[in-house]
Structure 1
Amino acid sequence: MLEGNRVSRISVRGFAVASATAVTTVGAVVGVASGDVQSSSDNNFEAAAADTTLLADIPVGQQAQVASAAVAQQADVQAAAADEAAKTQAEQSARLKAAADAKAKKEKADEAKAAKEKAEKAEKEAKEREQVEEVANRSSRDTGEVSFEQKSSYTVAEVKAMARQIVPAGQFQCFSNIVTRESTWNYQAQNPTSAAYGLVQSNPGSKMASVAPDWRTNPATQIKWGLNYMNVRYGSPCEAWSFWQNNHYY
């Protein structure tokens, strides 16, 4: 009997050591979650040592029940650790999703704001053009009454000569730069994609009728309208040319 008890106690101690190892492993997992690995491991070893002493004193007939209870307790600890890990992961995922949603919402708001500002700018420019053209139509004859002989057609040299008589000398080169790029001094130039017409590409060309009804065939009419448009909208042909260089339209 003494020898049998000795074997039983050794077996129990072996089971306790195995239990301690399992508990230590679980404790390490819990310790990582709590930020205190060393403390959790020490506590588990102490608990295992206590269990070793306790199991060694348990009668052989009850050791199976104690073993089952120990395994169940370990399973509970492992399940709690798994639940805690899952909870932590879920919280982290929720934070990441919230951050991503906030970023997407901000980007969408920024895009909407940019689109709105662009639309408002375009609308403002369109209104300004309408106002300028309205003023130009009312005051187009203020550029001076210079008369020219009516002809059936005009050469580029003749058209430029007209412009030199209408446009102030200090503004002529800027005026010429714009006309060169808009129509190459062709007073019958027709834009293929819009209703723009003539030397200064009035859009539509009929706006130049505010100067005279012969706007289709008379370069002088077109020059007067274009000069007045540049003066009213930009202040002068040179200021209009400066705008054209930055935007490729005026």
Structure 2
Amino acid sequence: MPMQTSNSITPAPSQTTETTGTTGTASFRTEAATRRAARRNRIGRRRRLVLAGALVAVGAVAATGLSVNSSLAAQRVAETSALTASTGLAAEQLGAYAGVAEAKVHAEAQDTLTLAEDTLSSVEGKIDADPLASSVATLGDYEALPLDEVRDLTISTRAEIRKAEEAATAHDREVAEREAADALARANTPDGAKQTARAMAASQYGWGEAEFQCLVQLWTKESGWNYQAVNASSGAYGIVQAWPAEKLATAGADWRTNAATQIKWGLDYIARGYGSPCAAWGHSQSVNWY
């Protein structure tokens, strides 16, 4: 009995140990498999994210490329259409884009030459136009020159055109100023002042030759028709001997230097104060002033 009991009890621990070991190994393998699966899932997700990002980037680049290509294509179509309209050639006759570019550069050169020739005609006799003429002569051979050189010559010729136009404008302004100064000088002489007075008296007041002769005598007595005359005692000034002199400013800011401004003021003064030059002259003869 003791032997049997011992034999019956001894195998039990062995079976229990084997079962426990098998269960632990299986559990470990299950956990390892779970970890590997999770790791594979994480790696898979990362790969999918990277792939998605790459696809987005490729799509963006492709879209940009399409946009740039579309823009260039539209520009080339527009240039071709413009050249077709300006040259009368069909689009297919213009050839490749290089031919289009060449035609455009040549057209700009020809337009510049036309403008330059017009400018040379308009400034002739006013300024030294040799620099512009030289540019025109050089650009005139544009068909035989490299395109880059034609572009540069076109730009420089345009610059010479602007210089010539500006110089001609300055010349015209100087001429006008000289002519105005000469006209003023002539008008400021006694004879010139009388001519101005006669014209103003007739056109603005309807006074004829008889009234003008009274005016001549009146202002000859007052100032000798000298626009710079000054009365030493009173300070009365100018042809009309206005006193105080600053009254003349109501007729114009140039009252000190312009006989016409003084005459304008004097005729108005006579019309308001006496009605006519002869009436003013009569008063002056009576009391020695007017």
TM-score calculated relative to the size of structure 2: 0.34
Task: Report the structure number with the largest CA radius of gyration.
Answer: 2
